Amino acid sequence: MSILVNKDTKLIIQGLGSTGQFHTEKAIAYGTNMVGAVHPSKAGKTHVFEGETDHSGVPDRPDTYRVELPIFASVAEAVAETGANASVLYVPPPFAADAIMEAAASEIALAVTITEGIPVADMVRAKRYLDDKKTRLVGPNCPGVITPKQCKIGIMPGYIHQPGKIGVISRSGTLTYEAVHQLTQLGLGQTTAVGIGGDPVNGTNFVDVLRMFSDDPETEGVIMIGEIGGTAEEEAAAFVAEEMDKPVAGFIAGTTAPPGKRMGHAGAIVSGGKGTAEAKIAAMTEAGIVVAPTPTDMGNAMVEAMG
Amino acid sequence: MKIHEYQAKQLMAARGIAVPQGRVATTVDEAVAAVEPIVTETGNPVVVVKAQIHAGGRGKGRFTEYPDVGGVMVVTDGIEGGVSATEQAVSGLAEKMLGSTLVTMQTGDEGRTVNTLYVEQGIDIDRELYLSILLDRTEGRNVVMASTEGGMEIEKVAEETPEKILREVIDPAIGLADFQVNALVRGLDLNGDAAKNFVQFVKALADAAVAWDSDLVEINPLVVTTDGAVMALDGKMGFDDNALFRHPEIAAMRDPREEDPAELEAKDAGLSYINLDGTIGCLVNGAGLAMATMDTIKHVGGEPANFLDVGGGADEEQVAKAFRIITSDPKVKGIFVNIFGGIMRCDTIAIGIVAAVKEVGLEVPLVVRLEGTNVEEGKRIITESDVDVIAADDMKDGAAKIVALAG
B55 in contact with A at a CB cutoff of 8 Å?
A: no
Q: B199 to each of A140, B176, B190, B328, how far by Cα in Å?
A: 36, 11, 10, 53
Same domain, B265 and B399: yes
Given the residues B118, B120, B218, B273, the one annotated as active site: B218
Domain of B59, CATH number, reads 3.30.1490.20
Q: Which of A93, A124, A294 sits opposite B299 (nearest CB)?
A: A294
Domain boundary among B251, B280, B306: B251
Domain of B267, CATH number, reads 3.40.50.261
What strands, in cross-sheet order, belong to the sheet with B62-63? B62-63, B101-103, B112-113
B240 vs A120: CB contact, 8 Å cut-off?
yes
**Which residues of chain A does B155 touch, with a Cβ-Cβ cutoff of 8 Å?**
272-273
**Which residues of chain A does B280 touch, with a Cβ-Cβ cutoff of 8 Å?**
none
B291 vs A257: CB contact, 8 Å cut-off?
yes
Residue at B11 is within a domain: no
Closest chain B C-alpha to A79 CA, distance in angstroms: 27
* 8 Å CB contact between B365 and B301: no
Q: B294 to each of A44, A155, A258, B279, B297, how far by Cα in Å?
A: 50, 24, 11, 11, 5
- Count other C-beta atoms under 10 Å from residue B27's C-beta: 12
Q: What is the pLDDT of residue B398?
A: 96
Give the integer Cα–Cα distance in Å for B311 and B290: 10
Among residues B349, B281, B355, B368, the alpha carbon closest in space to that of B311 is found at B349
| pLDDT averaged over every residue in chain B | 93
Same domain, B49 and B186: no
Strands (E) in B27-108, as ranges, are: 47-51, 62-63, 72-75, 101-103
Residue B280 lies in domain:
260-405
A160 vs B155: CB contact, 8 Å cut-off?
no
Closest chain A C-alpha to B141 CA, distance in angstroms: 6
At B132, the pLDDT band (50, 70, 90 cuts) reads: very high
Domain boundary among B207, B226, B251: B251
Model confidence pTM above 0.90: yes
Same domain, B173 and B70: no
Query: Can you say whether residue A49 is alpha, beta or left, with left for phi > 0 and alpha for psi between -120 and 50 degrees?
Result: beta
A232 vs B371: CB contact, 8 Å cut-off?
no
The full set of domains in chain A, from first to last, is 11-138 (3.40.50.720), 162-306 (3.40.50.261)
B295 vs A170: CB contact, 8 Å cut-off?
no
**Which residues of chain B does A114 touch, with a Cβ-Cβ cutoff of 8 Å?**
none
Helix (H) or strand (E) holding B238: strand B236-239
B298 in contact with A at a CB cutoff of 8 Å?
A: yes
Q: What is the pLDDT of residue B224?
A: 98
Residue at B14 is within a domain: no
Q: What is the pLDDT of residues A144-166, one digit of tens each?
A: 999 999 999 999 999 999 999 99
Residue at B2 is within a domain: no
Same domain, B216 and B300: no
Across the A/B interface, how many CB contacts are shorter than 8 Å?
Answer: 171
Residue at B15 is within a domain: no
In chain B, the residue whose alpha carbon lies closest to the alpha carbon of A255 is B295
Classified as helix, coil or strand, B257 is: helix
B242 vs A266: CB contact, 8 Å cut-off?
yes
Give the integer Cα–Cα distance in Å for B285 and B275: 16
* 8 Å CB contact between A307 and A247: yes
Phi, psi of A263 (to 5 degrees): -90, 75
Same domain, B243 and B268: no
Opening angle at CA B48, ends B42 and B50, nearest 5: 130
**Which residues of chain A does B171 touch, with a Cβ-Cβ cutoff of 8 Å?**
128
Among residues A234, A238, A235, A244, the alpha carbon closest in space to that of A213 is found at A244
Window 381-400 of B, Cβ < 8 Å to A: 394-397, 399
Give the integer Cα–Cα distance in Å for B226 and A306: 66
Closest chain B C-alpha to A230 CA, distance in angstroms: 6
Helix (H) or strand (E) holding B40: helix B28-42
* 8 Å CB contact between A198 and A171: yes
B384 catalytic, yes or no? Answer: no
Question: Total structural domains in chain B?
Answer: 3
Same domain, B74 and B185: no
Q: Which of B274, B298, B309 sits opposite A255 (nearest CB)?
A: B298
**Is B373's pLDDT higher than 90?**
no
- Please tell me the least confidently modeled range out of A24-28, A267-271, B303-307: A267-271
Same domain, B196 and B272: no
**Is A60's pLDDT higher than 90?**
yes
Q: What is the pLDDT of residues B221-271, one digit of tens each?
A: 999 999 999 999 999 999 999 999 999 999 999 999 988 888 888 988 889
Q: What is the pLDDT of residues B182-220, one digit of tens each?
A: 999 999 999 999 999 999 999 999 999 999 999 999 999
Give the N- to C-terminal CA distance of chain B in Å, as an integer: 36
Helix (H) or strand (E) holding A290: strand A290-291
Same domain, B130 and B115: no
Interface test with A, best of B1, B134, B218, B242 (most A CBs within 10 A): B242
* 8 Å CB contact between A175 and A292: no
ipTM of the complex: 0.92
* 8 Å CB contact between A276 and A228: yes
At B304, the pLDDT band (50, 70, 90 cuts) reads: very high
B307 vs A264: CB contact, 8 Å cut-off?
yes
Q: Which of B135, B288, B399 sits opposite A174 (nearest CB)?
A: B288
B142 in contact with A at a CB cutoff of 8 Å?
A: yes
Among residues B254, B2, B17, B20, the alpha carbon closest in space to that of B131 is found at B17
In chain A, the residue whose alpha carbon lies closest to the alpha carbon of B244 is A119
Domain of B186, CATH number, reads 3.30.470.20
**Which residues of chain A does B287 touch, with a Cβ-Cβ cutoff of 8 Å?**
172, 198, 227, 263-265, 268
B130 catalytic, yes or no? Answer: yes
**Is B407's pLDDT higher than 80?**
no
**Could you give the dihedral angle defined by the CA atoms of residues A155, A161, A165 and A171, in that order, rounded to the nearest 10 degrees?**
-30
Residue at B46 is within a domain: yes
* 8 Å CB contact between B93 and B69: yes
Give the integer Cα–Cα distance in Å for A220 and A218: 6
Give the integer Cα–Cα distance in Å for A125 and A104: 13
Residue at B141 is within a domain: yes
Opening angle at CA A142, ends B211 and A274, nearest 5: 65
Q: What is the pLDDT of residue B74?
A: 96
Contacts of A94 (CB under 8 A, 6+ apart): A119, B245, B246
B138 vs A178: CB contact, 8 Å cut-off?
no
**Which residues of chain B does A121 touch, with a Cβ-Cβ cutoff of 8 Å?**
172, 210, 213, 240, 243
Same domain, B313 and B394: yes
Give the integer Cα–Cα distance in Å for A289 and A234: 11
Same domain, B194 and B167: yes
In chain B, the residue whose alpha carbon lies closest to the alpha carbon of A264 is B287
Q: What is the pLDDT of residue A1?
A: 74
Q: What angle do the packed helices B261-268 and B316-327 form, to 10 degrees? A: 170
| pLDDT averaged over every residue in chain A | 96
> Which are the catalytic amino acids of A?
265
Q: Which of B173, B294, B372 sits opposite A160 (nearest CB)?
A: B372
Q: What angle do the packed helices A277-286 and A232-243 form, to 10 degrees? A: 0
Q: Side chain identity at A188, as an amino acid letter?
A: L
- Please tell me the least confidently modeled range out of A58-72, A138-152, A219-233, A259-273: A259-273
Reply yes or no: is the peptide bond before residue A148 cis, omega within 30 of 0. no
Same domain, B241 and B369: no
**Which residues of chain A does B307 touch, with a Cβ-Cβ cutoff of 8 Å?**
257, 261, 263-264
Q: What is the pLDDT of residue B235?
A: 93
Strands (E) in B247-400, as ranges, are: 272-275, 280-284, 306-309, 334-341, 366-372, 390-391
Give the N- to C-terminal CA distance of chain A in Å, as an integer: 23
**Is B170's pLDDT higher than 80?**
yes
Residue at B281 is within a domain: yes
Q: What is the pLDDT of residue B402?
A: 97
Give the integer Cα–Cα distance in Å for A54 and A62: 10
Classified as helix, coil or strand, B392 is: coil
Residue at B196 is within a domain: yes
- Count other C-beta atoms under 10 Å from residue B278's C-beta: 19
A294 vs B295: CB contact, 8 Å cut-off?
yes
Q: What is the pLDDT of residue A108?
A: 97
Longest dimension (CA), chain B: 81
Contacts of A185 (CB under 8 A, 6+ apart): A299
Same domain, B71 and B165: no
- Count other C-beta atoms under 10 Å from residue A107's C-beta: 12
Strands B47-51 and B62-63: unpaired
B292 vs A256: CB contact, 8 Å cut-off?
no
Q: What is the pLDDT of residue B374?
A: 87
Domain boundary among B229, B251, B273: B251
Q: What is the pLDDT of residues A270-299, one digit of tens each?
A: 887 789 999 999 999 999 999 999 999 999
**Is B165's pLDDT higher than 80?**
yes
* 8 Å CB contact between A138 and A115: no
SS3 of A8-55: the string is: CCCEEEECCCHHHHHHHHHHHHHCCCEEEEECHHHCCCEEEEEEECCC
Q: What is the pLDDT of residue B87?
A: 97
